[in-house]
Amino acid sequence: MKSKFLRTLLAGAVTFTFSALAQTGSAATPSSPAAPSSSAPPTSPATTTTAPTMGKVGTINIQDAIFGCNEGQRDMQALQKKFEPKQAELKNQNDELEGLKKQLSTQQDKLNEDALNNLKKQIEGKQKTFDRSVQDAQEEIQNQQQDIASRILSKMAPLVVKYSQENGYTLIVDTSKPWPQSPVLWWNPDAVDITKNVVEAYNVQSGVAAPPQQGGAAAPKAVTPKPVTPGATKPAAPKSSETPKQ
């Protein structure tokens, strides 16, 4: 779940840069080997600047950190539980729609024109209702996921800063998105990734115990419908209701 909210908030809260450049100058010898006359002005020494030294860089998958910490897992499991009745309702709507479409497919040659048109209108009406219900459920889930992410990130971001400072990092970049969506092309997670360390520190800070594992803490998913084509001989059936990931 990578939302507009996260992109905006992470840009301000999770990418950190701390000081870094040191410059030194050294005097060079005059260009001419001959000693200057007493009347000639001294030659100004040339200066050179050393290249800036890159500081210690780290990466963090902030999305994994948010939803992988104990608090994030606990809240996502609670959100999953909350939406189970809605998922059951959507499954019932989907099953009813599937039944009507099957009826149209198998009986359309036997129905008179009025009965056929009535069945098609019934399918179209229920399809619109189902699509609207799915969209509303998806929006509500996404909004509540964003609320969870916002609340946890507001407490986790200062911890990331503190951890980075204490461990000598000059830059922390978010790797939640793959390249080219992210500017990070490649990194060695074993060498520079701090996600696990941040999660462990946040679990200690929050005091939230690890919730019972139920096959993962992924966001619940609503049914994704396929729109029916009005008047089609064999309207496409919507996707079956997905079993939500927890």
Tell me how crowded residue 174 is: count the other CB atoms within 10 A of its CB.
23
User: Over the chain, what is the mean pLDDT?
Assistant: 75
What band does 209 get if pLDDT is binned at 50, 70 and 90? Answer: very high
Q: Span 7-24, mean pLDDT?
A: 32
Q: Please check whether residue 194 is in contact with residue 59, taking contact to mean a CB–CB distance below 8 angstroms.
A: yes
Give pLDDT, residue 16: 31
Q: Give pLDDT, residue 161.
A: 96
Higher per-residue confidence, 222 vs 171: 171
Confidence of residue 34 (pLDDT cuts 50, 70, 90): very low
179 vs 153: which has the higher pLDDT: 153
Strand segments (E) across the chain? 16-17, 56-60, 169-174
What's residue 183's pLDDT?
Answer: 82
DSSP 101-167: HHHHHHHTTTS-HHHHHHHHHHHHHHHHHHHHHHHHHHHHHHHHHHHHHHHHHHHHHHHHHHHHHHT
Contacts of 205 (CB under 8 A, 6+ apart): 155, 159
Domains and CATH numbers, the chain: 4-13+55-206 (3.30.910.20)
Q: How far is CA 203 from CA 70, 113, 196, 210, 240, in A?
A: 6, 65, 11, 8, 38
